[in-house]
Structure 1
Amino acid sequence: MNTPRCSLPDIIGSEDMLKKRRRKRRYATTGLRWKKSDLTWSIQNYPSLPPFLKPYEVDTIMTYAFKAWSDVTNLKFHATSSSEQDRADIKISFARSLHDDGYPFDGKGGTLAHAFFPGEADVAGDTHFDDEESWTYLDDSGTDLFAVAVHEFGHALGLSHSSSHPSIMRPYYQGAVGDIASYILPEDDRYAIQSLYGRKSSLSTPSPNHPTSHLPKPPSPPRPKVPSQPDPSVQNRCEGGFDAVANIRGDVFFFKGPYFWRIQRSGSLVSFHPALIKNFWIGLPPGTTKIDAVYERKTDSRIIFFIGSQYWVFKDTMVVAGYPRPLSDWELISHDGSEVKRVDAAFIWAHNGKTYIFSGREFWRFSEGLESGRRRPDAGYPRNSSLWKGAPSNPDDIITWGDGDAYFFKDNSYWILKSGGLDQDNVSHKSTAVDWMMCPEPTPTTLPANPRHRGECNCGLNGASQMSASSWLLFIILLLYPGILI
């Protein structure tokens, strides 16, 4: 469970998540803890982007972030000397993209930071912040370093995510939490950390490592700024019209323009702000402004991107040598004999493990093996996509998720075909913005004629994927339905 990234996904069904998004959950712990109460920490380097928090300001912020946890437990945190910084229990660094831990950052927005749980590995407790973020203190123009540090140190001490409000361990960034000198952990987080390390045995004077009366003054809040026009890409999160949607390693990625948003398998949106595709998927054309379709290949876990008349194959986040290749490899020929020039949707149907490619109002089925290169559709294709009754015949994209259900996305709505079944005439559309992007519910005057009942949340541990916990895949026993031959 030495897992990085803020967001530790729950192993729960996706439909359960959508039905129960608002059910409150108490704190969650990993069961991992440090076996000692005196812990050392060090800062390996400092942020490099404006507004350039000074090193002493970063030191102060980190000291107070640790103090939030030591104030309610018997834990003690000691900053190491420069000569001992590589021996610290918790090593703090600011890094970009690929940074030698197997968990690349995705640029501005998206995943802000990640931390490893306690354990025996060398990386246990280490905490990494994305250096492409603008780290600030009490400044809405950037990301508040103190708020994120308190959260990540919670993971480094063994806490998972909490859906309780106003827990600092909620799975997504909530903005600044106020003056660091007077910050107190919310009740839920106090109970959580005390369940691992016990309550503080007695009130004591500050440790020499935390001489609060001598700490440098926290960074001053910035002067009020003239409000700027919101980033259109952020506004578009609630407007729908995503170019592609893909289930990759159990997380759902929503692509729009040059950006993507990421939903952990727990149902948690990593960030309201999108990340740049080019900063995460290394090998796509630098000027990529639209992804047509994406899916993860079942046979070898390679990730396939379709853009225009070409496609790319990725191993994790790096393109495989020899790509891109022409879309003609797939031999997609329409009923009228014309060659398909662009793909609209691609997914693997859990019912039979086959790959389905959609273009226009037609779809093709593929029985993919481990072979590479030329591909040929199964006999009898293409077929008309209207066969998927209850779903749009020209979807923006499709994924299989949860208990083998097929999710069709179109504009700002989605449809669920239970267990991927075809003949489901009574399928109703749901709001992608509300259920996936955490946008406000529509007002009663704009609700659809038959609004579906919405339940409460059971999101629990947030999620950017983790390798031991986040690579846990849900192995679903699929029920085969005879007579479905598409």
Structure 2
Amino acid sequence: MKSINNLTSHKVFGLILLLFLATRITSNAGAYELAGYSWPTASTTFYVDIPGGDGLWNDAFESAMYQWSVNTRFEYYIVRDTYSNPCREDDERNGVGFAASDCGDAWGQNTLAVTHIWYVGDTITETDIVFNANQHWDVYSGPWSYSSNDFTRIAIHELGHALGLNHENSGIDSIMASYAGDIYLPQEDDIAGVAAIYETPDTYYRDWDGDGYGDTYSPYTTANRPSGYVINDWDCNDNDDTIHPGAAETRQDGIDQDCDGADVTNSK
């Protein structure tokens, strides 16, 4: 065992299934709860090769990682086809898998999954996610089905713990509630929580026509990307989704489709 292990602290977060739907209440953003420790940079890597499911669980877990990466500045990276036992303590690899027990401890009543976090001071050194193999699992979106547990949204929740978010039980819409329910993607409050941990303000640009390229005259500086905004300002006509730097140029039509400053007029 490496000497640093003598200084390493261990925290466990669990997610439970309640047999009723929680009542939602209106609340202001900022209700997020932080764990109090974080990665030294806004990224980490998971080793993903979950047995069973014919690749379904691996794909769903990668999709869950993507939801945090695309909506926040935190980046989850993946090493595919390499299994790291999530019950192997403090091996400095982030692992994920199913287990019949919580790494030797009995599962709590209705517990679906747990995240084990190892940290030194306020710096995370490793996280491991364990799914309850005694539960029935599937992959779906939309309303929660009590006949099967949606693997993806539970993975999103656990990955929220892995980057430093705590449970949020004020009633605001949040993937980080300690109960499973109809919410299946990170919400505004969850994204704001990640911003509070890792993000610095950045400038985004309104993408009026939804083509993935922003309007240089519509900037907005904020800690997390607002809906309808992109990080680039490369569009030359943000009122037409057929005109942008990635568009194919139509020759001799008098229109600069690809925003290079000129229409193609020759036949080559």
With normalisation by structure 2, the TM-score equals 0.56
Q: Answer whether contact 2:31 2:168 (CA < 8 A) is retained.
A: yes
1:341 is matched with none
Q: Answer whether contact 2:73 2:198 (CA < 8 A) is retained.
A: yes
1:78 is matched with 77
Q: How far is 1:54 from its partner?
A: 2.6
Q: Distance in 2 between matches of 1:111 and 1:199?
A: 35
The DSSP-based 3-state class of the residue aligned with 1:97 is coil
1:174 is matched with 181
1:41 and 2:40 correspond? no
1:28 and 2:33 correspond? yes
1:130 is matched with 132
Q: Distance in 2 between matches of 1:58 and 1:33?
A: 26
1:104 is matched with 106
How do 1:3-14 residues align onto structure 2 when only pairs under 5 Å count? Answer: 3-6=11-14
Q: Classify 1:95/1:200 alpha carbon distance in 2 versus 1 (closer, same or farther; 3 Å).
A: farther
The DSSP-based 3-state class of the residue aligned with 1:192 is helix
Q: Distance in 1 between matches of 2:124 and 2:169?
A: 30
Q: Answer whether contact 2:49 2:81 (CA < 8 A) is retained.
A: no
Among candidates 152, 155, 168, match of residue 146 of structure 1: 152
1:58 is matched with 57
Q: Answer whether contact 1:151 1:169 (CA < 8 A) is retained.
A: yes
Q: Answer whether contact 1:118 1:157 (CA < 8 A) is retained.
A: no
Q: Answer whether contact 2:84 2:93 (CA < 8 A) is retained.
A: no
* Runs of 4+ deviating beyond 6 Å: none
**Deviation larger for 28-37 or 64-73:** 64-73
Q: Answer whether contact 1:29 1:159 (CA < 8 A) is retained.
A: yes
Q: Classify 1:58/1:204 alpha carbon distance in 2 versus 1 (closer, same or farther; 3 Å).
A: farther
Q: Which amino acid aligns with 2:115?
A: A
2:168 is matched with 162
Q: Answer whether contact 1:43 1:92 (CA < 8 A) is retained.
A: yes
Q: Answer whether contact 2:116 2:128 (CA < 8 A) is retained.
A: yes
Q: Answer whether contact 1:117 1:157 (CA < 8 A) is retained.
A: no
Which string of whole-angstrom CA distances, capped at 9 and with x for unpartnered residues, describes residues 2-56 of structure 1? 2223159xxxxxxxxxxxxx89681110110011233110235335xxxxx332x
Q: How far is 1:81 from its partner?
A: 4.4
2:99 is matched with 95
Q: Answer whether contact 2:37 2:124 (CA < 8 A) is retained.
A: no
Q: Distance in 2 between matches of 1:83 and 1:59?
A: 11
Q: Which amino acid aligns with 1:171?
A: S
Q: Which amino acid aligns with 2:190?
A: D
Q: Distance in 2 between matches of 1:166 and 1:3?
A: 25
Q: How far is 1:159 from its partner?
A: 0.7
Q: Distance in 1 between matches of 2:97 and 2:83?
A: 15
Which string of whole-angstrom CA distances, capped at 9 and with x for unpartnered residues, describes residues 311-368 of structure 1? xxxxxxxxxxxxxxxxxxxxxxxxxxxxxxxxxxxxxxxxxxxxxxxxxxxxxxxxxx
Q: Answer whether contact 2:49 2:83 (CA < 8 A) is retained.
A: no
| Unaligned runs of at least 5 residues, structure 1 | 9-21, 48-52, 178-182, 206-486
Q: Distance in 2 between matches of 1:63 and 1:197?
A: 21
Q: Distance in 1 between matches of 2:183 and 2:193?
A: 21
Q: Distance in 2 between matches of 1:66 and 1:44?
A: 14
Q: Which amino acid aligns with 1:4?
A: V
Q: How far is 1:78 from its partner?
A: 1.8
Between the two proteins, what is the percent identity of the paired residues? 22
Q: Answer whether contact 2:50 2:83 (CA < 8 A) is retained.
A: no
Q: Classify 1:130/1:7 alpha carbon distance in 2 versus 1 (closer, same or farther; 3 Å).
A: closer
Which string of whole-angstrom CA distances, capped at 9 and with x for unpartnered residues, describes residues 269-316 of structure 1? xxxxxxxxxxxxxxxxxxxxxxxxxxxxxxxxxxxxxxxxxxxxxxxx
Which structure would you say has the larger Rg? 1
Q: How far is 1:91 from its partner?
A: 0.7
Q: Classify 1:123/1:70 alpha carbon distance in 2 versus 1 (closer, same or farther; 3 Å).
A: same
| Unaligned runs of at least 5 residues, structure 2 | 1-8, 17-24, 86-90, 205-229, 233-268
Q: Answer whether contact 2:116 2:127 (CA < 8 A) is retained.
A: yes
How do 1:48-447 residues align onto structure 2 when only pairs under 5 Å count? Answer: 53-55=53-55, 57-82=56-81, 85=84, 89-97=93-101, 99-100=103-104, 103-106=105-108, 110-117=110-117, 119-120=119-120, 124-138=126-140, 140=145, 141-164=147-170, 165-175=172-182, 177=184, 183=185, 185-198=186-199, 201=202, 203=230
With normalisation by structure 1, the TM-score equals 0.32
Could you say what the CA RMSD is over the residues aligned between the two structures, in angstroms? 3.4
The DSSP-based 3-state class of the residue aligned with 1:160 is coil
Q: Answer whether contact 1:72 1:194 (CA < 8 A) is retained.
A: no
Q: Answer whether contact 1:45 1:94 (CA < 8 A) is retained.
A: yes
The DSSP-based 3-state class of the residue aligned with 1:69 is helix
Q: How far is 1:111 from its partner?
A: 0.6
Q: Which amino acid aligns with 1:111?
A: T
Q: Which amino acid aligns with 2:128?
A: D
